[in-house]
């Protein structure tokens, strides 16, 4: 076998040859856009054209091949307009057209692998198992959709031998914080399968909602699935999955070789369950289903009744989900309630357990043993390592990667899903047009660079690394389009990190294969993010103010940026951006990145540069104040589904810094903001929320220069009547300032009421003509 490097070089060389050979042929595009990149691929002579007259052939009685064939036929019809029949007439020697067959002798390295050949006679897919055939079909579909057009397509000759790097290639979706319809779940599962991902970790219960019907305990969903959102119209927010819907979804996933790992979170994140059945809780009182994101205090108690309840729940969970692994959470369970409860303390003593962390271990092990008795395995978040990891447990490492290292060293199987890299609720660019989410920016490149196996592990320990997954937490992802924006194309980067051999992964090569994937997304109706290819524009005014130097950037390192300055859409013939250029105030710059083949890679971004727009700053131009963290970009109301408005907030400090802005000729400020729900479970950090003295009842926005302790140049009373979701504009003028300064804007609003948030700051110029230019 050739080394990976030489295979790569050979691939490139032959690719060039086949491109030249195919010149003038049907759809001669670049490198075959298979994502994730196969383990081995070599380009061969010849090519094959699939037309509307083609058929997909499978051997009679080869059920796995027939299933894969039908999946391919369906996908091709949807995305290429080719309706190919599936015929069960493939003899062992059959060649030509598309042939899919189970083949115990297929030379794949391991389970889920496949061999795919394209030559002048046709396309052949062989595999030892059903998953391998399915993945072969997914690769074939990608080869047959190299561009956005419909109808006949020519595939270059090649030999692909492919298998996954890890058995756990996952995606987690939080259906508790926001609820997704079954159809949305199915669409996500379908897309996962098309990325060769095979584990869907379904976060079904949390403080803000219990989403799984349990026949024995109907109140879990009658009460626990509904919450009363702040600032809403009085209608409860919620929803749940009936057992019939779950069975459907599980079958839909299984047909795509995806295992669904359900998560029932315990002993923390239990507030919705306790709201339904207060006797499961510690205090005996009934809380509301939570409306606060973060860490809430409600824990399950540790008595026999509650342990029995959870076992009964697991019975129904196991009945619905055939997965070997069942996830029992274990995260963020602050122990306050257990610490002050005489009953819990008595139980702890009678069990001979030394502290609450060890009590959590005992709790989790009760579940672990119960699952083991039923032939299942327990997995939990890395907090289950605290207080002694239960012997039967596997660990999902989220607080960085140390949990995975520790657990693997102790001989436990682990799955990597570290925050912030694999937390897709983080935004993916600094652009102001990104929707709500967490504000640690995790770009496509940073997800791509993720390495599942820590170099700190020995080869023996690394055998415990099952794989990795990305997590879609949905506190701020309220609608399908937001989930899709967060997931795509970072899911492509994840797929390559968990499927492709480590030494075959190259970001530039990956980026070159993405445009074809974007075409598939459009065909499939997936609202992907173009953030990695979007053009960001920064303008800098000359001293005299008569010229503006505009700099254009995009994350994609190799993308060609083209732009116009006359208001027209940039096309393949527009000026290529090479260095910052000068424009006169009042000019609109429109820019977009292009692939080598002349196709645009993103939506056109346009911006008019004049005195007014340049002195108007949105969240993307704001930073945290010293010692703070603008950690979140939140919508106007907790369940809002529109892209705007959004507000970057520091819930601890309510403070924003605008770095180095020229105050020459600036005579005042106008701030567009809103009152937001202060719906955060801050647990032990609650005491750290900064409270400032206010002079008026709703507090003020204070403007300081140079630092937050620097001179105050304006103070604007905030409007009273601070209902969450109400927007406002406040303004002030000030005595002339000179030079460039950091500007600090802080809020003195009372920390018990709504959260004051600023969305846009406009510096008002005293030179009227300048604003008009
Ligand atoms: C922490 S990750 C959590 C979740 C949140 C997430 C992101 C984990 C095991 N717990 O409850 O949704 O941060 O906001």
Model confidence pLDDT, tens digit, residues 604-615: 999 999 989 999
CATH number of the domain enclosing 58? 3.30.379.10
Distance 472 CA to ligand 1 centre (A): 9
Distance 730 CA to ligand 1 centre (A): 35
Residues 559 and 507 occupy one common structural domain: no
Q: What is the pLDDT of residue 597?
A: 83
| Atom 10 of ligand 1: nearest residue by CA position | 331
Question: For residue 8, is pLDDT > 60?
Answer: no
Residues 414 and 331 occupy one common structural domain: yes
| Atom 14 of ligand 1: nearest residue by CA position | 473
Q: What is the pLDDT of residue 387?
A: 86
SS3 201: strand
In 3D space, the residue among 428, 427, 390, 426 whose CA is nearest the CA of residue 411 turns out to be 390
Q: Are strands 97-102 and 122-127 parallel, antiparallel or unpaired?
A: parallel
Q: What is the pLDDT of residue 55?
A: 95
Model confidence pLDDT, tens digit, residues 669-716: 999 999 999 999 999 999 999 999 999 999 999 999 999 999 999 999
Question: Does residue 59 contact residue 92 with C-beta atoms inside 8 Å?
Answer: yes
Residues 352 and 475 occupy one common structural domain: yes
Instruction: For residues 353 and 49, give the distance between their C-alpha atoms in angstroms, rounded to a whole number.
Output: 69
Model confidence pLDDT, tens digit, residues 450-464: 999 999 999 999 999
Residues 602 and 455 occupy one common structural domain: no
Q: Answer with the one of 493, 524, 555 that is the final residue of a domain.
A: 524
Q: Answer with the one of 145, 162, 179 that is the final residue of a domain.
A: 162
SS3 130: helix
Question: For residue 160, is pLDDT > 80?
Answer: yes
Residues 83 and 187 occupy one common structural domain: no
- Range scoring the smallest mean pLDDT among 233-242, 294-303, 360-369, 536-545: 536-545
Residues 214 and 130 occupy one common structural domain: no
Q: What is the pLDDT of residue 2?
A: 31
Residue 227 lies in a domain: yes
Q: What is the pLDDT of residue 3?
A: 36
Q: What is the pLDDT of residue 5?
A: 39
Please tell me the pTM assigned to this model: 0.95
Question: For residue 7, is pLDDT > 90?
Answer: no
- Output the CA angle 28-32-33, nearest 5 degrees: 115
Question: Does residue 329 contact residue 381 with C-beta atoms inside 8 Å?
Answer: yes
Domain coverage including residue 256: 168-524
Instruction: For residues 509 and 513, give the distance between their C-alpha atoms in angstroms, rounded to a whole number.
Output: 7
For residue 532, name the pLDDT band (cuts at 50, 70, 90). very high
- Strand (E) or helix (H) holding 122: strand 122-127
Instruction: For residues 769 and 611, give the distance between their C-alpha atoms in angstroms, rounded to a whole number.
Output: 9
Residue 94 lies in a domain: yes
Q: Is 381 in the pocket of ligand 1 (CB under 6 A)?
A: yes
Q: What is the mean pLDDT of residues 293-306?
A: 98
Residues 66 and 88 occupy one common structural domain: yes
Distance 652 CA to ligand 1 centre (A): 18
Looking at the chain, the whole-number percentage of residues with pLDDT higher than 70 is 94
Model confidence pLDDT, tens digit, residues 216-248: 999 999 999 999 999 878 899 999 999 999 999
Catalytic residues: 332
Residues 603 and 620 occupy one common structural domain: no
Distance 473 CA to ligand 1 centre (A): 7
For residue 25, name the pLDDT band (cuts at 50, 70, 90). very low
CATH number of the domain enclosing 389? 3.20.20.80
Q: Which residue has the tokens 């006359």?
A: 566
Question: Does residue 195 contact residue 142 with C-beta atoms inside 8 Å?
Answer: no
Question: For residue 12, is pLDDT > 80?
Answer: no
In 3D space, the residue among 186, 349, 305 whose CA is nearest the CA of residue 253 turns out to be 186
Q: What is the mean pLDDT of residues 527-544?
A: 95
- Range scoring the smallest mean pLDDT among 93-97, 141-145, 635-639, 738-742: 93-97
- Strand (E) or helix (H) holding 276: helix 271-276
Q: What is the pLDDT of residue 283?
A: 96
| Atom 9 of ligand 1: nearest residue by CA position | 331
Index of the ligand 1 atom closest to the CA of residue 331 = 9
Q: Mean pLDDT, the chain, as a whole number?
A: 94
Q: Answer with the one of 130, 162, 194 that is the final residue of a domain.
A: 162
Residue 511 lies in a domain: yes
Q: Is 680 in the pocket of ligand 1 (CB under 6 A)?
A: no
Distance 441 CA to ligand 1 centre (A): 16
Residue 480 lies in a domain: yes
Residue 510, CB-side half-sphere exposure with 13 Å CA sphere: 26
Residues 625 and 568 occupy one common structural domain: no
Residues 255 and 385 occupy one common structural domain: yes
Q: What is the mean pLDDT of residues 632-651?
A: 97
Q: Is 119 in the pocket of ligand 1 (CB under 6 A)?
A: no
Question: For residue 11, is pLDDT > 50?
Answer: no
SS3 530: coil
Residue 530 lies in a domain: no
Q: What is the pLDDT of residue 767?
A: 62
Model confidence pLDDT, tens digit, residues 363-406: 999 999 999 999 999 999 999 999 888 777 999 999 999 999 99
Residues 265 and 405 occupy one common structural domain: yes
Q: Is 265 in the pocket of ligand 1 (CB under 6 A)?
A: no
| Atom 11 of ligand 1: nearest residue by CA position | 294
Q: Is 200 in the pocket of ligand 1 (CB under 6 A)?
A: no
CATH number of the domain enclosing 716? 2.60.120.260
Residue 366 lies in a domain: yes
Distance 381 CA to ligand 1 centre (A): 10
Q: What is the pLDDT of residue 768?
A: 52
Q: What is the pLDDT of residue 557?
A: 87
Question: For residue 26, is pLDDT > 50?
Answer: no
Strands (E), 282-393: 293-295, 325-329, 377-381
Q: Is 398 in the pocket of ligand 1 (CB under 6 A)?
A: yes
Residues 552 and 594 occupy one common structural domain: yes
Question: For residue 595, is pLDDT > 60?
Answer: yes
Index of the ligand 1 atom closest to the CA of residue 383 = 9
| Atom 5 of ligand 1: nearest residue by CA position | 473
Index of the ligand 1 atom closest to the CA of residue 423 = 7
| Atom 6 of ligand 1: nearest residue by CA position | 473
Residue 531 lies in a domain: no
Question: For residue 69, is pLDDT > 50?
Answer: yes
For residue 216, count CB atoms less than 10 angstroms from its CB and return exposed for 0-12, middle for 13-18, buried for 19 or more.
Answer: exposed
Residue 529 lies in a domain: no
Q: How many domains does the structure of the chain reveal? A: 4
């Amino acid at each position: 076998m050739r080394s990976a490097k030489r295979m790569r070089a050979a691939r490139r060389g032959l690719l060039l040859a086949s491109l030249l050979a195919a010149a003038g042929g049907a759809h001669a595009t670049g490198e075959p856009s298979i994502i994730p990149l196969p383990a081995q691929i070599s380009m061969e002579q010849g090519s094959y054209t699939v037309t509307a007259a083609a058929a997909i052939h499978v051997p009679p009685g080869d059920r796995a091949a027939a299933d894969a064939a039908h999946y391919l036929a369906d996908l091709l019809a949807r995305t290429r307009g080719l309706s190919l029949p599936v015929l069960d007439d493939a003899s062992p020697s059959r060649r030509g057209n598309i042939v899919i067959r189970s083949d115990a002798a297929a030379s794949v390295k391991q389970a889920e692998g496949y061999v795919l050949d394209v030559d002048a006679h046709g396309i052949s897919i062989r595999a030892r198992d059903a998953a391998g055939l399915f993945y072969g079909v997914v690769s074939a579909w990608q080869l047959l959709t190299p561009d956005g057009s419909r109808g006949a397509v020519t595939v270059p000759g090649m030999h692909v031998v492919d298998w996954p790097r890890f058995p756990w290639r996952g995606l987690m979706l939080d259906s508790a914080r926001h609820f997704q319809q079954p159809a949305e779940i199915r669409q996500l599962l379908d897309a996962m399968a098309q990325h060769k991902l095979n584990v869907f970790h379904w976060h079904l219960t949390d403080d803000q909602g219990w989403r799984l019907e349990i026949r024995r305990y109907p109140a879990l969903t009658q009460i626990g699935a509904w919450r009363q959102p702040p600032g809403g119209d009085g209608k409860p927010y919620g929803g749940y999955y009936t057992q019939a819907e779950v069975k459907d979804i599980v079958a839909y996933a299984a047909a795509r070789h995806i295992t669904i790992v359900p998560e029932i979170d315990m002993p923390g994140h239990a507030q919705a369950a306790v709201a339904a059945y207060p006797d499961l809780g510690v205090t005996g009182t009934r809380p509301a289903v939570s409306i606060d994101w973060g860490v809430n205090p409600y824990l399950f108690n540790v008595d026999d009744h509650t342990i029995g309840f959870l076992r009964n729940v697991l019975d129904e969970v196991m009945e619905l989900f055939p997965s070997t692994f069942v996830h029992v959470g274990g995260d963020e369970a602050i122990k306050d309630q257990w610490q002050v409860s005489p009953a819990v303390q008595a139980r702890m003593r009678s069990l001979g357990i030394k502290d609450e962390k060890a009590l959590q271990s005992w709790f989790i092990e009760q579940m672990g043993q119960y699952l083991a008795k039923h032939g299942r395995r327990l997995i939990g978040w890395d907090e289950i390592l605290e207080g002694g990891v239960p012997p039967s447990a596997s660990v999902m490492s989220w607080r960085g990667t140390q949990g995975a290292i520790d657990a693997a060293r102790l001989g436990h199987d682990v799955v990597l899903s570290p925050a912030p890299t694999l937390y897709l609720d983080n935004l993916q660019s600094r652009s102001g047009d990104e929707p709500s989410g967490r504000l640690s920016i995790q770009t496509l490149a940073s997800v791509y660079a993720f390495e599942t196996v820590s170099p700190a592990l020995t080869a023996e320990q690394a055998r415990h690394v099952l794989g990795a997954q990305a997590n879609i937490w949905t506190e701020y992802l309220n609608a399908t389009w937001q989930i899709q924006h967060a997931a795509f194309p970072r899911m492509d980067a994840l797929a390559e990190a968990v499927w492709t051999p480590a030494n075959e992964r190259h970001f530039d090569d990956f980026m070159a294969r993405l445009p074809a994937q974007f075409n598939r997304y459009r065909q499939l109706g997936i609202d992907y993010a173009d953030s990695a290819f979007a053009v960001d524009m920064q303008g800098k005014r000359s001293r005299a103010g008569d010229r503006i130097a505009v700099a254009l950037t995009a994350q994609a390192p190799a993308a060609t940026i083209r732009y116009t300055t006359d208001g027209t859409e940039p096309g393949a013939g527009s000026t290529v951006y090479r260095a910052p250029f000068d424009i006169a105030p009042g000019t609109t710059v429109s820019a977009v990145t292009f692939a080598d083949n002349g196709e645009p890679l993103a939506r056109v971004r346009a911006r008019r540069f004049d005195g007014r727009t340049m002195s108007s700053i949105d969240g993307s131009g704001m930073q945290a104040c010293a010692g703070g963290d603008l950690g979140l970009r939140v919508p106007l109301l907790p369940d809002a589904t529109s892209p705007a408005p959004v507000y970057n907030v520091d819930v601890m400090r309510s403070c924003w810094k605008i770095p180095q802005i020229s105050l020459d000729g600036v005579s005042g400020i106008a701030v567009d903001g809103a009152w937001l729900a202060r719906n955060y479970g801050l647990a032990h950090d609650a005491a750290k929320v900064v409270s400032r003295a206010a002079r008026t009842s709703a507090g003020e926005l204070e403007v300081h220069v140079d630092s937050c302790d620097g001179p105050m140049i304006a103070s604007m009373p905030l409007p009273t009547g601070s209902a969450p979701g109400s927007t406002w504009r406040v303004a002030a003028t000030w005595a002339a300032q000179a030079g460039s300064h950091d500007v600090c804007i802080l809020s003195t609003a009372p920390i018990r009421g709504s959260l004051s948030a600023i969305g846009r700051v406009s510096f008002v110029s005293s030179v009227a003509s300048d604003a008009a230019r």
